[in-house]
Structure 1
Amino acid sequence: MPSRILLCLAAISACAPALGDTVWLKNGDRLSGKIKLFDGGKLLIQTEYAGAIPIDWKQVKTLESDQELLVKQDAYTGEKAKSLQAADEGKVTLANGETPKTVELASIQQILKPRPVVEDLVWRGNVDVALDYQRAENDTDDYDVDFKTSARHGKWRHIAEGEYNREFQDEVVTTDNWRAEYALDRFITDQWFWQGRLTYKRDKVEELSRQRTVGTGPGYQFWDDELGAFSLGSLLNRTDYEYSDGGKDNFYSLAMKWDYNRYLIGKSVEFFTNGEVGKPLSGVADFALDAELGLRYKVTDWASLNLKAERDIISGSDDADFSKTRYTAGFGVTW
């Protein structure tokens, strides 16, 4: 008798459909997997057979999910649904107790997993580490660590980043510097935002030993979704220079900054570039450039390999001439 019961349970389990999410497309196709995110006009579904697949939202007929999801019909408020149920074409039903609600797919701006306390918080970031040991006529040890993280909630976005570089050549320190930056964005519309920023740089080897910059200005977010982001910002900056010989300079400048990243090949490869070019309003220097470009390859969901090129230039003044290019390769974590 027990064996028959076990056999029946096994048969029922085999016949029961596996729990998961389903997306029906207007062309008649159907995808099964786990809905990760809808943002920027793209629905991302994680499948066992093809990895993460981005779907154009306009091609979705309806969908269902057994997850608890936060569905936002505008940029700042949302409704937490216990599950999503398929409905007529162009619609979906938000199941939440005894009062299910059917809404138009076109009215939905974002779908994401709710977070504790701050439900619509979107937190992203990465930490990259590069190590280079060379044993030849001149022994060289090079260490490079940098991080970048952003957190957005409603109309506010916090961005923090920093890096540390240290290099020895024949046990003599030839590079020793670090940088930290914090920016706060306040979105005025879905794309336009106003930014305030504070940057501090410290170099124990180069002639330009300290640099402090405070800036503010408008910016525009072209897109920011699961497949990448692109923004441009213009800033009015106040910069203070301190030199190793005790000299000081300060000036105001106008700057343009960019931040671009794009995922390729099913989100396994990320191309990114960011930086800032500035023009002082006084005669301290002709221009300043701080730029980075690279590739990041995801080995797992959290581990990655990276290649980067960095270029720093301060040009136009005998006291401030500075130019440096660095290439690094290393590993890191992303989230």
Structure 2
Amino acid sequence: MLSRSILYLALCATSTASFADTVWLKNGDRLTGTIRVFDGGKLVLETDYGGTIPLDWKKVATLESERELLIKQGDFEGERAKALKPAGPGKVILANGEEPKTVELASIDQIMKPKPFVEDLTWTGNVGVSLDYKRAEKDTDDYDIDFKTKARHGRWRHNASGEYNREFQNDVKTTDNWETEYALDRFITDKFFWQGRGEYKRDKIEDLSRQRTVGTGPGYQFWDDELGAFSLASLVNRSDYLFDDGEKESFYSLSVKWDYNRYLIGKTVEMFSTGEVGRPLDNTADYSLDAEVGLRYKLTDWASLNMKAEKDQVSGADGDIDETRYTVGFGVGW
């Protein structure tokens, strides 16, 4: 029984090692783990002994992987390698069946896992919290909580987001609003999709107290991979505005929505921007803009520091709204 147990453990160790990726450094060190991505001069290796390690690409001698990886050389040239085999210093072999190809590491711009179109349920998202306390001639307390999440299964994608903001100046409430949005995407091809969405905003301080919007229209996914995603959607909307004095407005509009994020510096920094710009069809308002742009700096695999700027602007016959907010806070992601 003891010999069988030892044999079983040896086979497990051999099997685990055979599926691990290996990176050889120019100083002679060898690291094993899982290659997640290479971009911006950093090779991200996930290990069970040191967590996620960003490696300087210039220090890498060669590497090996038995997994299929997408190798990009330049903005447009790229191929799927069935496996990577070690070669001489500064080189790697792209194994593609009967015609392996040796390339210089310096010629590679990106390495990432190919993302299949149809896959099991995947769920990603993040929650951010920012608090601002200022004690001066006017004491200010500002609280902001926001979340964004996506769930994808096959040709369906669910998108949900929300935000709550409250601010006090000398114990007087000066800001109190929240908003939430849900959108459902149905992919027609790998890139084109059709979106239906609903949005609700509530403001207890400003003149424009309630906004309800439903819309539908086509969209296009430019990319969605290990390094980020970018999509545009063109929508026809029905909006209902309720003002604090009881006045109401209902109108149809055309709008363009965008959703962008991009990881940099070995996936330690993330740039993101979401928003929508629209124009009513019956001239009840000139235009509306609701946008945000920011950065996330990853402290760990799940925690980050967030910096964000938000712009909410409406120009119409019943008055204008022009608000810009800047927040810094802490976030968690999955």
Aligned to 1:78: none
Structure 2 counterpart of 1:303, one-letter code: A
1:60 and 2:66 are equivalent in the alignment: no
Aligned to 2:303: 303
CA deviation map 1:214-263 (0-9, x unaligned): 00000000001111000011000000000111110000000011111000
Aligned to 2:54: 51
Deviation at 1:56, TM superposition (A): 1.7
**Equivalent residue runs for 1:37-186 within 5 Å:** 46=46, 50-51=53-54, 56=71, 58=79, 60=81, 62=83, 89-91=95-97, 110=115, 120-186=120-186
CA deviation map 1:261-315 (0-9, x unaligned): 0000000000011100001001211000001010000000000001100011101
Aligned partners of 1:128 and 1:145 also within 8 Å: yes
3-state SS, counterpart of residue 261 of structure 1: strand
Alpha-carbon distance between aligned partners in 1 of 2:232 and 2:119, rounded to the nearest angstrom: 27
Aligned partners of 2:44 and 2:266 also within 8 Å: no
**1:289 to 1:111, Cα distance in 2 relative to 1, 3 A:** closer
Structure 2 counterpart of 1:51, one-letter code: P
Identity of aligned residues (%): 63
> Any unmatched runs of 5+ in structure 1?
25-29, 65-87, 93-107, 113-117
Give structure 1 regions of 4+ aligned residues with deviation exceeding 6 angstroms. 15-18
Aligned partners of 1:277 and 1:289 also within 8 Å: yes
Aligned to 1:321: 320
Aligned to 2:89: none
3-state SS, counterpart of residue 286 of structure 1: strand
User: How does the TM-score come out when normalised to structure 2?
Assistant: 0.74
Aligned partners of 1:289 and 1:314 also within 8 Å: yes
Deviates more, 1:174-183 or 1:319-328: 319-328
**1:198 to 1:61, Cα distance in 2 relative to 1, 3 A:** closer
Alpha-carbon distance between aligned partners in 2 of 1:16 and 1:192, rounded to the nearest angstrom: 44
Aligned to 2:91: none
Alpha-carbon distance between aligned partners in 2 of 1:144 and 1:250, rounded to the nearest angstrom: 29
Aligned partners of 1:23 and 1:63 also within 8 Å: no
Aligned to 1:195: 195
Aligned to 1:333: 332
CA deviation map 1:171-227 (0-9, x unaligned): 010000000100000000000000000000000000000000000000000001111
User: How does the TM-score come out when normalised to structure 1?
Assistant: 0.73
Aligned partners of 1:62 and 1:91 also within 8 Å: no
Aligned to 2:261: 261
Alpha-carbon distance between aligned partners in 1 of 2:167 and 2:119, rounded to the nearest angstrom: 43
Alpha-carbon distance between aligned partners in 1 of 2:115 and 2:327, rounded to the nearest angstrom: 37
3-state SS, counterpart of residue 245 of structure 2: coil
Deviation at 1:18, TM superposition (A): 6.4
Aligned partners of 2:37 and 2:266 also within 8 Å: no
For the aligned residue pairs, the C-alpha RMSD in angstroms reads 3.4
Aligned partners of 2:286 and 2:316 also within 8 Å: yes
Aligned to 2:244: 244
Aligned partners of 2:84 and 2:95 also within 8 Å: no
Alpha-carbon distance between aligned partners in 2 of 1:111 and 1:197, rounded to the nearest angstrom: 25
3-state SS, counterpart of residue 214 of structure 2: strand
1:224 and 2:224 are equivalent in the alignment: yes
Deviation at 1:60, TM superposition (A): 3.0
Alpha-carbon distance between aligned partners in 1 of 2:14 and 2:187, rounded to the nearest angstrom: 47
> Any unmatched runs of 5+ in structure 2?
24-29, 58-68, 73-78, 86-93, 99-112
Alpha-carbon distance between aligned partners in 1 of 2:191 and 2:235, rounded to the nearest angstrom: 17
3-state SS, counterpart of residue 123 of structure 1: strand
3-state SS, counterpart of residue 332 of structure 2: strand
Aligned partners of 2:44 and 2:53 also within 8 Å: no
